[in-house]
Amino acid sequence: MTNSDPKHKKTGDNSKSDKISKRQLKGSAQLSIK
């Protein structure tokens, strides 16, 4: 994933990647709870 590279981040993709990262955070949080 080139998401982790700030150089590739564009303002247009910001909201999209933000939603994805938030979803991944929620998923990982649920995994750690189990």
**What's the burial of 23, exposed, middle or buried (CB within 10 Å: 0-12/13-18/19+)?**
exposed
Structure confidence at residue 28 (pLDDT): 78
Rg of the Cα trace of the chain?
12
As a whole number of angstroms, the distance between CA 21 and CA 27 comes to: 10
Q: Which residue has the tokens 């998401």?
A: 3
For the whole prediction, is pTM greater than 0.85? no
Structure confidence at residue 1 (pLDDT): 47
As a whole number of angstroms, the distance between CA 18 and CA 10 comes to: 11
pLDDT in tens, 1-34: 455 566 655 655 566 777 877 888 887 777 776 6
